Amino acid sequence: MATLTATAIGGASVQYKFMNDTTIIRDFSEYNSCTWIPVMAKTYSNLTVIARDIKGNDPNLTFTSVPKSLVVTALPLLPVSTSITNQWHFNR
């Protein structure tokens, strides 16, 4: 099990969407972290987060993180925490 976490600075009502390549891990939600259980032992090299401020000047504007990798060497995966270190600055 992996806990993925992202951080946005500012914004009135930020939502986060967690993805692995084109697969949605968790759709837009106000929570900045989610739990993910990888299904295969491999390197997941394209974990990303999309952030949006739904009450900001442009609620359709999104910011996407730089991809993050997670190496899974064996299953079941012991609990691990992975942070998406990008910080988004929303104008109010």
pLDDT value at position 29? 94
| H/E stretch holding 40 | none
Q: List the domain boundaries for the chain.
A: 2-84
How crowded is residue 84: how many other Cβ atoms within 10 Å of its Cβ? 21
Contact residues for 38 (Cβ-Cβ < 8 A; gap 6+): 2, 44, 70, 72, 75, 77
pLDDT value at position 90? 60
C-alpha pair distances (Å), 89 with each of 12, 29, 44, 82: 11, 18, 27, 21
pLDDT tens digits, one per residue of 24-40: 999 999 998 888 888 88
pLDDT tens digits, one per residue of 11-69: 778 899 999 999 999 999 999 888 888 888 888 888 888 888 888 667 677 788 878 78
Residues 65 and 86 sit within 8 Å (Cβ to Cβ): yes
CATH of domain 2-84: 2.60.40
- Would you say residue 9 has pLDDT above 50? yes
DSSP letter for each residue of 55-86: TSS-TT-EEEPPPEEEE--SSSPPPEEEEEEE
Rounded to two decimals, the pTM is 0.78
